[in-house]
Amino acid sequence: MKIQSYSITLREGGLSMRTGKVFIRILIIAVLAMFTALSVFAGTTGKIRGKVINKKTKEPIPGAPVQIEGTTMGALSGPDGEYMIINVPPEVYNIVSKLIGYIPMTVEGVQVRVDHTSIADLTLEETTIQIDKPQIVTAERDLLRLTETQNMRQLTAESIKNMPVTTVAELMAIQVGVVTRAGQIHVRGGRTNEVTYMVDGVSIRDPLGGLGAVDQAMNISGNVIEDMQIIKGGFDAEYGNATAGIVNISTKAGSDVTTGTMQYFTDDFGTNILNKNSFNYDRLEFNLSGREPLLSDKVLPKLGINWFSDKLYYAVQGAVDKSDGYANYKQYFTNSTNRGFKERSILGLFNLEDRMQNAYEAQVKIRWQATPKIKVTGIYRGSWNDQTIFQWNYRYTPQTAGVIHDESEKYSINLTHTIDKSTFYELTLSHFNYDFFQMPGDPNNPGGGLTPGDFLQFSSYEYFFDRNGNGSYDAAEPFINSNGDTSWYWQTPFYTFGDAYAPTNAPLGIPPWPLVVYELNPEYRGVNSNYRNMRNSSPLVDTILTDWNGNGAVDFYESEAYVDVNGDGKWNAGDFLLVDTNNNGVYDPERGVVTNVDNPEPYTDGDQSLGEPFSDVNMNGVYDPGIDIFIYAQDPAINMDLNRNSQYDGPGAIWTPGIPFRDLNGNGLYDRSNGRYDYGEPFLDLNGNRKWDARDGFYDRGHQQWAYYSKRSAANYTADFKITKQFSKEHEVKSGMNLVLHKTQMADLRYPNFPYDGIADGGPWPDRGVFRDFYTRRPTQGAFFLQDKMEYGGMIANLGLRFDFFIQSSDLKNKESIDQAAGKSISGSTNHFSPRVGFSYPISDKAKVFFNYGHFYQLPEMTFMYTRATQASNAFGIIGNENLDFQKTVSYEFGVSYALSRDYVLDASGFYKDEYGKINSVREGFGPNQRNVYQNSDYSRSRGFELQLDKKYGNYISGTTNYQYAFAYGKSSNSNSNYFDDFYARAIPIQEFPLNWDVRHQLTINLDLRIPRNDHPKLFGLKLPDNWGTNVIWQFGSGFPFTPDRDYPGLRLMSGESPQTNSMRYPSNSRVDVRMYKRFPFLGLDYTFDLWVNNLFNKKSIEMIYPLTGRYDTNSKTAGSSWVYSGSDIANSPLNLGAGRNIRIGLGVEF
């Protein structure tokens, strides 16, 4: 039987919008009516089932009460002795059965997981006397997880607690089938945005996407997690809007017992000797939970309100995480580049300075058990992050590096009502809001940013010619304009030198002559001229006189009076003002260029001649002929004519042997100016790195040319309803619907110093920006699903059907086309049906096989729909496409689980995925214009084989070993690749190639050693301490692919041939992380000391390779050869390598 995906698309020429709305309403009514009273929202509960039998006769015991200890949840066994308890939150429980005539029995440690059936059989022993003390047994772990029809990984609070991980992202990185690159998570070959993260049943992803993090769940602390479910394929029909995987997280809730923990970690030991790779890291986290003792039991009863008495539970969690990261500007601070950070007042007692990365999170979870059958849960979760972006180009100007602030808040309320022992429903209302703000850094306000309005437009920039190369503007030295002349162009006072001589081959009259002017005052500085001074020329043979000032006389050393500001003995004209936009006659630094500024550092070119000595009679610091005394004599004791040329040579004259000079590079020789920097020459060390820098790729000041400004928010209001009915022990039917109302807002502007001449968009700063995005959109999204979970003996079958729909923002429905070009209309909505099938079957008491197949749809990030509807005429950007359809994945999976023993189980599975309609750009015509527009135009595929060996805890050790062989191929690795290929006139690929995250082999080993309290095992006859443990994670991965340059060493290509995309590989990588702890009681509290080492063996992990050289530290080689030479500083970014060994210590307290 061939199973297909069905789609109904409401577009012009198809179903009308009115017909579509009627269809949706009918479908809602039909689904609800189907179940009488009978989302992308995830399941949040599991169930417990088992059998009660007589220990002696082995016969089933009907009517036996089975209850979850400490709760009101329970059931009676049926005629066949079987019982089932549904709607059980994930946690570890004890199952109790007390029946007259039998010894009570307790099964301890029954682990309930989301969407999972836990087995707890009870064997009761007959008795003729009353016995109150129960028999206690420990629940057997369901190693094969018979009810699961896919390769699902489930992590519990207990297993997470001791791992050397902090966040969900780090937990994901060690899972089989998951590849992490540059902080991005890829599941089974999918793109990073194809996983949906659910927290307590609510999706907390940003539907808009763009510059910021799409999935806020990635930074959730591991200490708040009760249960984490990772589904990499074959997920049930209740899950949607994801094509690669689902991560379903249930957070901790309160119980009758009040518990609390607080932990502090740091890697700052006061010296780098103990921790060379310190991140300046500090983390504080806490949990507090229990039954609410004050409001429900004290305050409200006095007001006559007794609804909450003994029924209100709470759980509060929080974390503060501050770090500079392994790559940070502080490592490169100098006296001239030091950057300040924002300070925050802590309760008015002291100030705490921010760091490069500052994260805060908090959660409050309130549960009200209104009746034994009605439970209401309210949750608030918030996260706030402030970050200074590390970009290597900003090494010497960290004050202007970009800053980010993002925050998210989630409010939800959930009502769970158990109608009877076989039916319950859930109603969830939630609101999620995400705000992201990125700005260029403000050097005058640490931690603050600049808006586009703070930038001067480039038409107002001022420029000058730096005559002396000192890197700053120097005005002309003041002078007395005695003859009142002005420059012909600027009409400003003109400084007049004395009369000059010209070469004998120059024509008579007024200049111009050959390009060099030869002056008598200051001293002659010409070269390549047969020059002789007037005093020693009788008659004048080699020169001709020119009366420069036109006074009819030869004024040999005549010039206008001036102030010698720099004391060099000559008048300096100062720097030449090329552009004076405010016409004030001087250069204004605040009007200087502030983007992509990268200039050589100023230096002194050559040694400085000090000139011959003279007696400064008038004490003006300048030699004045006829006034000052210059002595020509044979006696060296009184002679001032050091070079014996019978004339005075001042500091500005050509240096000749004998004249003193300032030996700037200390080599004992006079070095003439040669137009380039030579080692040893003095320079102005603007960045404080103690070496001269040419144009080096680092910004000297200001910002990158884009100067990103992005302020965006995404808010949604969601209503979800689902109902579960256990029609019989063979059929559990679940149905549901959800509706999401989105509101997305974008304010994005790039190149703020350029004028904007495009279509008015109603946004602020309407006169600037090459790329502008200012809009508000309100689309609607929703889904219905129907699912039947069938259990016949050991066989499990999941059959499901899902319907996803999307309704475009109403303000776009009547828009003729994007960019106001005719020829395209906006579709009202799009929708798809997707079938899901899964089977699990035990082939023996130690093994099962499973198979699943499904179609999965995901809405593209909305930024691809709405981006850059307006842009300047000189822009070459990408336009969003409001008509984008859902992306589609067709996935198969087949696997086997085999219990090797009571402690070991081996899972093996293979997957096959084809992905259609992935987003990339296509060049299209819009009237006379050509633009790149996002389309559902890409395809990719992934195949793989996964192995995982699990060992349950026993003999002090537990752990997992997993291996993955997989490949991920496609036409592109990101949604903008076609745009850049088009921009740089490269051929757009038409064949598949390995994607950027294609890793052929991955191996992960996680071992956990735990010694319980009051247990003292012996090692080589030595008694070991109790209550301690060690957790080790080793990860190995083969290298990522990269595309070599045409001139890559050793690469041979035919004429006109280009290197194949991603045809070469990075080196493999390996890393070991270790966390050791020791717990000890003191004064009624349990204390924990942690030693945590990441990258224990300090292995070098290469994160980026240059396609020209195949190395991470240089991008320089000799053209046409294999000779690679040392690179520049800009090529050796610390981000090219991963973090080195980092050591943390922690102290915790628990009660």
1084-1104 pLDDT, tens digit each: 899 999 999 999 999 999 999
CA distance 804 to 783: 4
Nearest to 240 by CA among 198, 278, 271: 198
pLDDT of residue 873 exceeding 80:
no
The CATH number of whichever domain residue 132 belongs to comes to 2.60.40.1120
pLDDT of residue 804 exceeding 90:
yes
For 51, the 3-state DSSP assignment is strand
- Give domain status of residue 90, yes or no: yes
- Give domain status of residue 987, yes or no: no
Q: What is the mean pLDDT of residues 314-329?
A: 94
- Give domain status of residue 113, yes or no: yes
pLDDT in tens, 1013-1029: 999 998 888 999 999 99
* Identity of the residue numbered 397: T
pLDDT-wise least confident of 280-289, 541-550, 872-881, 985-994 = 541-550
Q: When comparing pLDDT for 1127 and 837, which is higher?
A: 837
Strands 46-54 and 82-88: antiparallel
pLDDT for res 284: 95
**Is 251 within 8 Å of 1115 (Cβ atoms)?**
no
Which of residues 619, 650, 682 is at a domain's end?
Answer: 682
pLDDT of residue 651 exceeding 50:
yes
pLDDT band at 926 (very low <50, low <70, confident <90, very high): low
DSSP 501-525: EEETTSPSSSSP-SS----SSS---
CB count in 10 Å sphere of residue 954 = 11
- Give domain status of residue 63, yes or no: yes
DSSP 161-184: HTSS--BHHHHHHTSTTEEEETTE
pLDDT band at 482 (very low <50, low <70, confident <90, very high): low
CB count in 10 Å sphere of residue 459 = 10
Nearest to 926 by CA among 816, 811, 777: 816
**Is 975 within 8 Å of 940 (Cβ atoms)?**
no
What stretches of 679-828 adopt beta strand conformation (E)? 709-726, 731-750, 771-777, 780-792, 795-807
Q: What is the mean pLDDT of residues 739-753?
A: 94
pLDDT for res 553: 45
**Is 898 within 8 Å of 843 (Cβ atoms)?**
no
What are the CA-CA distances from residue 211 to residues 260, 439, 708, 709 (Å)? 37, 12, 10, 10
Q: Which residues have C-beta within 8 Å of that of residue 1119, sequence separation ≥ 6?
A: 1047
pLDDT of residue 853 exceeding 50:
yes
- Give domain status of residue 879, yes or no: no
pLDDT for res 264: 96
pLDDT in tens, 927-981: 666 788 999 999 999 999 999 999 999 999 999 999 999 999 999 999 999 988 8
pLDDT for res 1075: 97
CB count in 10 Å sphere of residue 1015 = 12
Strands 1001-1011 and 957-970: antiparallel
CA distance 705 to 727: 64
Q: What are phi and psi of 534, to 5 degrees?
A: -55, -35
pLDDT for res 673: 85
Give the percent of the chain with pLDDT over 90. Answer: 47
Supply the DSSP symbol for 900: -
- Give domain status of residue 262, yes or no: no
Query: Cβ-count burial of 1047 within 10 angstroms (0-12 exposed, 13-18 middle, 19+ buried)?
Result: middle
pLDDT of residue 55 exceeding 70:
yes
- Tokens 């707890």 correspond to 120
Highest mean pLDDT pick, 136-145, 276-285, 556-565: 276-285
For 157, the 3-state DSSP assignment is helix
pLDDT band at 25 (very low <50, low <70, confident <90, very high): very low
Rounded to an integer, what is the distance from CA 1107 to the centroid of its chain? 23
Nearest to 437 by CA among 621, 710, 671, 73: 710
pLDDT for res 535: 32
pLDDT for res 960: 96
**Helices (H) then strands (E): counts for the chain:** 6, 57
Supply the DSSP symbol for 1066: P
Q: Does the reported pTM lie above 0.85?
A: no
pLDDT-wise least confident of 427-436, 535-544, 765-774, 905-914 = 535-544
Nearest to 879 by CA among 818, 939, 958, 824: 818
**HSE (side-chain half, CA atoms, 13 Å) at 41:** 31
The whole-chain average pLDDT of the chain stands at 84
Q: Is the peptide bond before 452 cis (omega within 30 degrees of 0)?
A: no
Which of residues 111, 138, 165 is at a domain's end?
Answer: 138
Q: What is the mean pLDDT of residues 51-58?
A: 89
- Give domain status of residue 642, yes or no: yes
Give the percent of the chain with pLDDT over 70. Answer: 87
Rounded to an integer, what is the distance from CA 348 to the centroid of its chain? 33
pLDDT of residue 598 exceeding 50:
yes
pLDDT band at 215 (very low <50, low <70, confident <90, very high): low
- Give domain status of residue 655, yes or no: yes
- Residue 414, token pair as written in the block: 């959930």
pLDDT of residue 506 exceeding 50:
no
Exposure string for 277-286, b = 16+ CB within 10 A, e = fewer: ebbbbbbebb
pLDDT for res 394: 94
Residue range of the domain that includes 638: 604-682
Q: What are phi and psi of 1084, to 5 degrees?
A: 80, 0
pLDDT for res 194: 92
Which of residues 138, 168, 184 is at a domain's end?
Answer: 138
Q: Is the dihedral of CA 216, 220, 224, 226 positive or negative?
A: positive
Q: What is the mean pLDDT of residues 142-161?
A: 85
Q: How many domains does the chain have?
A: 2
Nearest to 716 by CA among 774, 782, 766: 782
